[in-house]
């Protein structure tokens, strides 16, 4: 697994989690 790809996937997961938290707070 490429480190860059893993980093991008991690960032995507983090963004998704943030979006979910924001939606829950709304």
Residue 22 has pLDDT above 90, yes or no: no
Per-residue DSSP letters for 1-26?
--HHHHHHHHHHHHHHHHHHHHHHH-
Question: Is this prediction's pTM over 0.85?
Answer: no
pLDDT in the model for residue 1: 66
Residue 9 has pLDDT above 70, yes or no: yes
Rounded Cα distance between 20 and 3, Å, is 25
Residue 18 has pLDDT above 90, yes or no: yes
């Amino acid at each position: 697994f490429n480190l860059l790809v893993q980093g991008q996937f991690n960032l995507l997961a983090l963004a998704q989690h943030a979006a979910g938290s924001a939606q829950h707070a709304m």
